[in-house]
Amino acid sequence: MKLLQKIGLIIFIIGITVFTFSPFIGSYKVTNDILKSTLSEQQYANLSEKLKEKLVGKRFSYTWEISSVFVNEYEFKNETFKNKHEWDKVMHDNPQDIALSITKSSATGFYINNILLFFLISFGFGVLGAIMYFLPDVILLGPPGIKNNNIYRRPSTNRGLIAYFVFAYLIGFYILLYFYPAQLTNQILLVNPLSLLLNGHPASRWFLYGVLYCTVMLTMAVRMYIKYRHNKYQIVRTTSVLFFQVAFAFLIPELLIRFNQPSMDFKNAWPLNYSFFFDWNINNLLNSGAIGAFMLFWGIVLTLIIVPVFSYFYGKRWYCSWVCGCGGLAETLGDPYRQHSNKTLKAWKFERWIVHGVLVFAIIMTAAALYTFFTNENTLLGIETYSIQKAYGFLIGSIFAGVIGTGFYPIFGNRVWCRFGCPLAAYMGIIQRFKSRFRITTNGGQCISCGNCSTYCEQGIDVRWYAQRGENIIRASCVGCGVCSAVCPRGVLKLENGPEENRIIENPIIIGNDGIKLNL
């Protein structure tokens, strides 16, 4: 069994190494045709002269040789135009995106000709190895039950060297993905055949991200199924997030593209889906006939009716732990790191400021975007509405949700984004705290203050604080993952939905002591 795990680990490492180092095994040849087909007419007119001289006809081994030339030239030209006040010539696209299109089309040689083989080695080996590593746990972990053994003794799960390595790797990946996508050309090419099959177009970086996301979640879900095989709540919940990720976040949007419809993740509610009310999106939907109109309608109903009503009946867990993609990754890939959330009172204070701050930011940004949509005015109180959107997209959408949100898993826990950053979580949290049927009931006087619940609460809630006083846990940030209840060795905690009456106990009495009837 141990041997099988070791072989699995080796296979996994081969897979991920090939994936990671694929940028070093490509070759690229830029042609004039490629420039013509990837650049707009204006861009071609502005840039082709220099690009032909520096890029066309040459062979390159690395994508950055091409992207750096291109981006430099692009920025240099724009700078020149601006200095000369030739505003009509200034280009407004993201040069990194165009560089990616160029590098994708210029790939030649062994790598691209054997792309299926490389796909199998990277993705195939990665998944196969990981599953070979997890499966023996059915036996190695012993009889079903909570097996958090040695979590704080392993460098991978106790902020050791391996954890820092994963931390750096994830952050690096997100930075490349968001800001330097051309450097991921070869990884994107890996999923090109799949993209063509699904949506009929060559793979974009977001397609790669989607495939990776689903693959990682599926693989890590196998681990969850084994680890929590005694706990039906965990099994059902994991299946649910997995389903919503693969079907709603990935397959349906891709198929919509195939049928030339606007693509939409039907479960992604505003304000998490922060661009939903941007004028380009609304216009796009309004120009897409009945289906577009339906999508617009659905998006509004989702945020204004479904989200609050479901949160009233089930707490925000219906979304955060059952449906959401961010939550889904946190609960699968992030599960080994859940104990790293900060439990101090300080962190809780910080959380309330920042998460509600992001919500306010999202509301202001969206209000400004709607103002632009309805009035066609681009400035509001002297501020350009696009610049608010850009700032939000960069700071919150990319840095907070992506780089920090996932990159920080191994060191700061798996729900950094969900706890401190997600505006939808803040919105549902307010409902959960003040008007909901959800609570975690504490079982009388049974708590022994051991601290397992608090340690494994990914949202940094000091569950024990409440449990040892016999008080129900009603916290805005609780995502209802159910792990506190699972790890409690004394059966003290139960997530349940019930009448609002008596949900919040202001002055709890721990039962069992008949001498004490009033807790003053």
**From the CB of 515, what's the least distance to other proteins, in Å?**
4
Reported residue count of the chain is: 520
Beta strands in 366-480 (DSSP E): 379-380, 383-384, 438-442
* Smaller CB separation from ligand SF4, 96 or 468: 468
Choose among other proteins, ligand SF4, none what residue 481 binds, the Cβ cut-off being 5 to 8 Å by kind: ligand SF4
Task: Report the partner that residue 459 touches, choosing among ligand SF4, other proteins, none (CB closer than 5 to 8 A by kind).
Answer: ligand SF4
Q: Which stretch binds other proteins (CB under 8 A): 94-102, 114-122, 415-423, 500-508?
A: 500-508
Under rule CB under 6 A, which residues in 356-375 are in contact with ligand SF4?
A: none
Residue type, 445: G
Instruction: Note whether 229 binds other proteins by CB under 8 A.
Output: no
User: What angle (nearest 5°) sits at the alpha carbon of residue 498, between those of residues 494 and 502?
Assistant: 90
Distance (Å) of CA 160 to CA 152, 405, 406: 10, 20, 18
- Tell the smallest beta-carbon distance from residue 488 to other proteins (Å): 9
Instruction: Return the number of the residue (92 or 153) whose C-beta is nearest other proteins.
Output: 153
Asked if residue 508 binds ligand SF4 (CB under 6 A), the reply is: no
Q: How far is Cα 481 from Cα 322, in angstroms, rounded to an integer?
A: 9
Q: Which is nearer to other proteins, 57 or 489 (CB)?
A: 489
Q: Which residues contact 16 (CB under 8 A, 6 or more apart)?
A: 122, 126
Question: Minimum CB separation from ligand SF4 for residue 453, in Å?
Answer: 3
Of 3, 139, 161, 520, the residue at the interface with other proteins (CB under 8 A) is 520
Query: What distance in Å separates the CA atoms of residue 58 and residue 31, rounded to the nearest whole number?
Result: 8
Question: Rounded to whole angstroms, how far apart are CA atoms 227 and 7?
Answer: 20
Q: Out of other proteins, ligand SF4, none, which partner does residue 499 contact, by CB within 5 to 8 A per kind?
A: other proteins
The residue whose two tokens read 């430099």 is: 72
Sign of CA dihedral 102, 103, 104, 105: positive
Contact region with other proteins (CB under 8 A), list: 69-77, 175-183, 232-240, 400-408: 232-240
Sign of CA dihedral 305, 310, 316, 318: negative
Q: Output 124 or 451, the one with its CB closest to other proteins.
A: 451
Shortest CB 462 distance to other proteins, Å: 9
490 makes contact with ligand SF4 (CB under 6 A):
yes
Q: Is 465 in the site for other proteins (CB under 8 A)?
A: yes
# of chain residues touching other proteins (CB under 8 A): 57
123-160 as b/e: b if 16+ CB within 10 A: bebbbbbbbbbbbbbeeeeeeeebbeeebeeeeebebe
Pairing of strands 27-29, 59-60: antiparallel
Among 94, 344, 379, 387, binds other proteins (CB under 8 A): 344
Q: Which of 44, 62, 225, 233 binds other proteins (CB under 8 A)?
A: 233
Pick what 38 binds: other proteins, ligand SF4, none; C-beta below 5 to 8 Å, kind-dependent.
none
CA distance 452 to 475: 18
Q: Provide the minimum distance between the beta carbon of 330 and ligand SF4 in the complex, in angstroms, as a whole number.
A: 11
Which residues, 6 or more positions from 193, have their beta carbon under 8 angstroms from its beta carbon? 115, 116, 119
DSSP for 16-66, please give it.
HHHHHHGGGG-EEE--HHHHHHHS-HHHHHHHHHHHHHHTTT-EESSHHHH
- Residue 150 contact partner, candidates ligand SF4, other proteins, none, CB within 5 to 8 A by sort of partner: other proteins
Give 383's strand partners: 380
Q: Indicate the SS3 state at residue 493.
A: strand
Task: Indicate which single residue of 457, 462, 472, 476 sits in contact with ligand SF4 (rule: CB under 6 A).
Answer: 457
The residues of the shown chain that bind ligand SF4, judged by CB under 6 A, are 447-453, 457-459, 461, 463-464, 467, 473, 478-484, 488, 490, 492-493, 495
Contacts with other proteins by CB under 8 A lie at 142-146, 148-154, 230-233, 236, 344-345, 441, 443-446, 448-452, 454-455, 464-465, 468, 482, 485-487, 489-491, 494-496, 498-499, 501-502, 505, 510-516, 520
